Structure 1
Amino acid sequence: MLSPGLPQGAVPRLERPGPLRERVYDALLELITTRALQPGQHLVESELAGHLGVSRQPVREALQRLNTEGWVDLRPAQGAFVHEPTEEEADQLLTVRTLLEAEAARLAASHADQAGLDALNELVELGMAAVDADDVDAAVALNARFHAKIMEIAGNVVLAELAGQVDRRVRWYYTPVARQRGHQSWIEHRDLIAAIADRDEQRATRLMREHTEHTRRSYHARQDA
C-alpha cells in the first residue's frame, strides 16, 4: 500500500486519547506531501487503518476532507486515490509561490538582524550536509524551514499566512526534484543571505525570484522527461 522503500516503522501508530480524526488527517497529509504515498496511488481504508492503528471511520473522514482540499480523488465505485497534479496546477502554484517568496525576500532585506542571518546560515550548513548524505527527506524539510525563516524575518503576518497555505503543496512539488537541485539550491540560498545581509532589497528580490523559478523549471523538466 505504501511506496516501496518506505523505512520500517516510518508510519507511527496514533496513540489515544486526543482528536483522532485530526491526527489521522495530519498523518495521511504528511505521507502524501512527502510522497510516501505516491500520486495516483490507490488508498485502501482498511490498509491505512491498519498502518495507523485506528478504525476505518477516522480514515474515511480524513479521506473525505483530503478530497475536499484537493489532495485525494474519490472516484465512484473505485475508491480513493492520491491526486495526480496536472502541469497547469503545478505551474499556477509555483508561480504564486514565486510572487510570495520574492516579496518576503525584499522585506527580509529591510528587516533582518544578525540573529536572523545566523539562523539562515545555520540552515544552509545543515542543508548542505543533508545533500552530502543524500538525505532527501531532510533536505526537503530544511528547505521548507529556510523559506519559512525568510518569511519570519520579513515580518509580514498576512504574507506569512498566505505562504503557509501553500507550503505543503510546495513541498509536494519540490520533493521529486530535491536531489536534482542538490547543492545548487543551497548555493542560491547563500547568495540570497548575502543580499539580505547587504540590505539590498532589489538584489534579494531578484535572487529569490530566480531561485524559485529554477525549482519550477526543474519540476516541469522532470515531468516532461
Structure 2
Amino acid sequence: MLFDGLPHESVPKVERPVPVREQVYEALRELIGSQSLRPGQHLVESELAGHLGVSRQPVREALHRLNSEGWVDLRPAQGAFVHEPTGDETDQLFDVRVVLETEAARLAAVGSSGGGLERLDELCATGEAAVNANDVETAVIANATLHACVAELAGNAVLAELAAHVEQRVRRYYTPIVHEAWAEHRELIAAIAARDEVRAQQVMRAHTVDARTRFPPRTGQLT
C-alpha cells in the first residue's frame, strides 16, 4: 500500500477551500433563517449574486439545493421565492422541536459537566443582557447557542445534529427576546445542575411549547 508503514499522523492533510457554491448556500440559508430574506420574497439571481459578490451560477445552484430542502420555492416562469410555511408545516416543525429539545434536556441533566454548566450560565447572562438592551440579534444568537449547548451536553451527536437543523428552521418564526424565555432558561439550567431530569424535561417542554404562540414574528429584509 502507498502509505504502508507510515504513522497515520505523518501523512499530510490536503487543505481544500470551501467551494463557492457551498458558501453561497450557507449564506442564503442564514439570510432566510434570520428573515433578512422574508417569506414570500422574490429571489432574483442577479441581485443576490451582486450582494454576495459572486457570479450567478453558484447562486442558481444554491437556490436549487434550498428548493429541495424546503427553504425556497422555484416557480415555473416566475423564479425563486422564499418559502412561506403553512400553518400545518409550522405546527409540525414546533412539535418535532418539542420532542428533540425535551429529550436533550433530560439527557443533559443526566450527564452534564461543570464546564458545560458554566457555559450555559454565560450564554444565559449574554441573552439576558441583550434583552435588557433590546439587542435582538444577540439575543437570537445566544438563544440558539444555548439550546445547542444543551443538546451537546446530552451526549448524543445524532440528537444534537437534528436539533440544530430544526432550531435553524424555527428561527424564522420568532424572536426569543422576551424576559419570560430567559427566566425559563435559568430554570432549565438549575434543573440540569441539580441532575433533575424530570424537572429539566418539564421546563424545556413548557418553554418550547410556549414558543409557538408567545414569541413575536421576526421581520427584516436584505438591503
What TM-score, normalized to structure 2?
0.86
CA distance in 2, matches of 1:19, 1:222: 33
The gaps in structure 2 that reach 5 residues or longer are: 1-16, 219-223
- Equivalent residue number for residue 83 of structure 2: 83
Equivalent residue, structure 1, for 2:183:
187
Q: Name the structure where helix makes up a greater proportion of residues.
A: 1
In structure 1, C-alpha distance between the alignment counterparts of 2:190 and 2:213, rounded to whole Å = 24
Whether the 8 Å CA contact 1:39–1:83 is kept in 2: the answer is: yes
Q: SS of the residue aligned with 1:172?
A: coil
3-state SS in 1 of match to 2:39: coil
Where does residue 171 of structure 1 map in the other structure?
A: 171
Other-structure match for 2:123: 123
Matched with 1:44 is: 44
Q: CA offsets, 1:199-221, max 9 Å, x none? A: 111111011000001101225x8
Equivalent pair of 2:174/2:217 in contact (CA under 8 Å): no
- Tell me the alpha carbon deviations over residues 2-35 of structure 1, each in whole angstroms, 9 at most, x when there is no partner: xxxxxxxxxxxxxxx7411111111111110010
Q: What is the CA-CA distance between 1:135 and the residue it aligns to?
A: 1.3
| Matched residue, 1:200 | 196
Q: Following superposition of structure 1 onto structure 2, how do residues 38-187 of structure 1 map, counting pairs within 5 Å? A: 38-175=38-175, 178-179=176-177, 182-187=178-183
* Alpha-carbon distance between aligned partners in 2 of 1:114 and 1:164, rounded to the nearest angstrom: 23
Tell me how far apart the structure 2 counterparts of residues 45 and 140 of structure 1 sit (CA, whole Å): 28
Query: Where does structure 1 differ by over 3 angstroms across 4 or more consecutive aligned residues?
Result: none
Kindly report the root-mean-square deviation, in angstroms, between the aligned alpha carbons of the 2 structures. Answer: 1.6
- State the structure with bigger RCO (CA 8 A, min sep 6), 1 or 2: 2
User: Which residue, 210, 218, 223 being the options, matches 1:214?
Assistant: 210
Aligned to 1:35: 35
* Percent of aligned pairs sharing the same letter: 64
TM-score by length of 1: 0.86
Cα offset, 1:158, TM superposition: 2.0
Residue 110 of structure 1: how far off its partner (Å): 0.9
1:26 match:
26
Matched residue type, 1:192: L
Q: Which runs of 5+ in 1 are unaligned?
A: 1-16
Q: 1:222 & 1:144 partners in 2: Cα distance?
A: 16
Shift of 1:111: 0.8
Q: Secondary structure at the match of 2:40?
A: coil
Counterpart Cα distance in 1 of 2:217 and 2:116: 34
- Classify the secondary structure of the residue corresponding to 1:173: coil
Q: Which amino acid aligns with 1:165?
A: H
Deviation at 1:197, TM superposition (A): 1.2
Question: Is the CA contact 2:181–2:207 (under 8 Å) kept in the aligned structure 1?
Answer: yes
Contact 2:173/2:217 (CA < 8 Å) preserved in 1?
A: no
Residue 109 of structure 1 deviates from its aligned partner by: 0.9
